[in-house]
Structure 1
Amino acid sequence: MSNYSIKDLEHLSGIKAHTIRIWEQRYNFIKPSRSDTNIRSYDDLDLKLILNVSLLKDNGFKISHIADMSSQEIAEEVLALTDKHLRFPEQIHALTLAMIDMDEDRFEKIMSSNILKLGFEKTMLNIVYPFLSKIGVLWQTGSINPAQEHFISNLIRQKLIVAIDGQYSSDPSNARKYLLYLPEGELHELSLLFADYVIRSRHNKSIYLGQSLPLQDLVSVYNLHKPEFILSILTSVPGIDQVQGYVNKLSGLFPESTILLSGYQVIGQDIQAPDNVVIFTRSEQITSFVEEHSTEA
């Protein structure tokens, strides 16, 4: 079971920590554990309750009424709301609950209904990515159980791979060529897989090398294929003190290609991008770049 601070609950639910404390005292429907130094600690059930309360409040329920409802009644109301409304906040909320409960059936229902309405790409950009961003900090700090992280990441990965498989076709002779990889030690692959989908869906050639690729192997593949673009997502490696040097090295090794980079390690880090390096701060920018540089099939 995961362990959350009151700030974690505030981050995930949007309800201020001060308000949560007042609710604890006034309505007594959430009872955190406390450390020897009186620090509050919350479990999965507490998080689910706060998320559900937040959603009900956003849909017009008064907190005094919610406090009188049973856990079953709250859960039923939330389920009805997330099934009825395909607005993005409700769907992000539903994905969070599916992750906490490790409920694959619920995950499949959420994804299927949104893909049917929005299409795969818009579902990823408007629901899955904001969801991943919202819980990403908790993954980094270890607040979320690793099993929950692996569960939801693997389900999303499966959806991405199926979508990518659906894009396979003979590339036109004038297709732009991209080489995709993650640096050695980097295992966070979801954003790279989505970039692969975007590239292939625009009738470009993608050479996908995946996780944890040593630099010398990148050089070998580059020399074989001579791609116009090299794309990587730096989520956890190289370290902050090594990123600028790594970016400079990529620029020097592949001067005839455009290096496309994104991820926590390069966004907002005051990286000085060489002339042949482009840094994306949002996933939509990768899509826009690919579309601008695609050749009509």
Structure 2
Amino acid sequence: MSTYSIKDLEQLSGIKAHTLRIWEQRYNLLNPKRTDTNIRYYDDSDLKLILNVALLNDNGFKISKIASMAPELMREEVMKLTDRSLTHDDQIHALTICMIEMDEDRFDKVLTTNIIKIGFEQTMLNIIYPFLAKIGVLWQTGAINPAQEHFISNLVRQKLIVAIDGQIPSVTGKKFLLFLPEGELHEISLLFASYLIKSKGHKVIYLGQSTPKDDLDAVYNLLEPEYLLTVMTTLPAGETAQGYVDMLSKKFSKSQIFVSGYQVVGQDMIFPSNVTQFNYIRDIKDVLEEIGEEVIEK
């Protein structure tokens, strides 16, 4: 079971800590525990409750009414709202509850419903990515355990693979080589890039997680892709990131290289002429539009 500070509850629910304390005192809404050193903390049941309260309150339920609801009734009302609501925040709340409960069926239903309503790409950009960003911060601070993070990442990964398999490349499409540096395992952004590239009719050579340099060389020499794309979330880190980018630039000088991820975005790095940085992986859409125009002109 995970433990949360009141600031964690604020970040996940969007309800200010000051408001949570007032509700706690006035309506006995929460029952914080205390450590041996008398520090207050909350558990999974508290987080789930506050997420439900936030969702209901955002949709017009008065806090006095919410506080008097039995747990079964509150859950029923939340399920009704998330089934019919198109609000992104409501859907992110619903996914967060699924994560806390590790409810795979409900998680799948929320994602599938949104994909049907607004499409896969918009579901990724407006719901899944903000959701992953929210839980990512808490995972780094230890508020969410690795099992919960892996549970969610694997479910999202499955959806991405199914969506990618449904895309058919064009005969005139360009070749993109997608890979993660050796030791890098965070694959969601690379998979989404693969989906976007294939959805525009281009061919993707997908090497995936932790690609050794020798393997990268061998595939590049065999297939000679016009473009390479990698995401550096955790590795290479620090000063080694610049060296890795420089190595890619020199070794694959005939290709255009795209890089993204925490280790390059916002860092004080110098990018060679054949390397382009993406602040967000969705930025590749602009490049794909330019490539499409070039293909049409030819």
The bucket for the TM-score relative to the shorter chain is over 0.9
1:178-214 superposed Cα distances (whole Å, 9 cap, x missing partner): 1000011111111111111111111111110000011
* TM-score, length-scaled by structure 2: 0.93
- Kept after mapping to 1: 8 A contact 2:173/2:202: yes
- Kept after mapping to 2: 8 A contact 1:182/1:234: yes
Q: What is the one-letter code of the residue matched to 1:269? A: Q
The residue number in structure 2 matching 1:11 is: 11
The residue number in structure 2 matching 1:205 is: 203
The residue number in structure 2 matching 1:22 is: 22
Where does 1:72-91 land on structure 2 (aligned, <5 Å)?
A: 72-91=72-91
Task: Confirm whether residue 111 of structure 1 aligns to residue 111 of structure 2.
Answer: yes
Specify the SS of the correspondent of 2:9.
helix
- Kept after mapping to 1: 8 A contact 2:4/2:143: yes
Specify the SS of the correspondent of 2:211.
coil
TM superposition shift of 1:38: 2.8
Task: Confirm whether residue 256 of structure 1 aligns to residue 274 of structure 2.
Answer: no
Specify the SS of the correspondent of 2:208.
coil
Task: Confirm whether residue 93 of structure 1 aligns to residue 93 of structure 2.
Answer: yes
- Kept after mapping to 2: 8 A contact 1:177/1:228: yes
Between 1:147-156 and 1:179-188, the stretch displaced more is: 147-156
The residue number in structure 1 matching 2:174 is: 176
Q: What is the one-letter code of the residue matched to 2:245? A: V
Count of residues in correspondence between the two structures: 295
Between 1:99-108 and 1:30-39, the stretch displaced more is: 30-39
Where does 1:55-204 land on structure 2 (aligned, <5 Å)?
A: 55-169=55-169, 171-172=170-171, 174-204=172-202
1:1-33 superposed Cα distances (whole Å, 9 cap, x missing partner): 222222221111111222222222222221122
TM superposition shift of 1:101: 1.1
Q: What is the one-letter code of the residue matched to 2:264? A: V
* TM-score, length-scaled by structure 1: 0.93
Structure 1: runs of 5 or more not aligned? none
- Aligned CA RMSD, in angstroms, stands at 1.7
How far apart, in 1, do the equivalents of 2:17 and 2:37 lie? Answer: 18
Q: What is the one-letter code of the residue matched to 2:37? A: T
- Kept after mapping to 2: 8 A contact 1:32/1:41: yes
Specify the SS of the correspondent of 1:135.
helix
One of 280, 283, 287 as aligned partner of 1:282: 280
- Kept after mapping to 2: 8 A contact 1:98/1:106: yes
How far apart, in 1, do the equivalents of 2:272 and 2:204 lie? Answer: 24
How far apart, in 2, do the equivalents of 1:275 and 1:106 lie? Answer: 47
Task: Confirm whether residue 44 of structure 1 aligns to residue 35 of structure 2.
Answer: no
Structure 2: runs of 5 or more not aligned? none
Specify the SS of the correspondent of 2:114.
helix
How far apart, in 2, do the equivalents of 1:271 and 1:47 lie? Answer: 40
- Kept after mapping to 2: 8 A contact 1:181/1:213: yes
- Kept after mapping to 1: 8 A contact 2:196/2:285: yes
How far apart, in 1, do the equivalents of 2:245 and 2:5 lie? Answer: 36
Question: Identity percentage over the alignment?
Answer: 63
1:101-160 superposed Cα distances (whole Å, 9 cap, x missing partner): 111211121122111111111111111111111111122233212222222111111111
How far apart, in 2, do the equivalents of 1:246 and 1:180 lie? Answer: 15
TM superposition shift of 1:70: 2.1
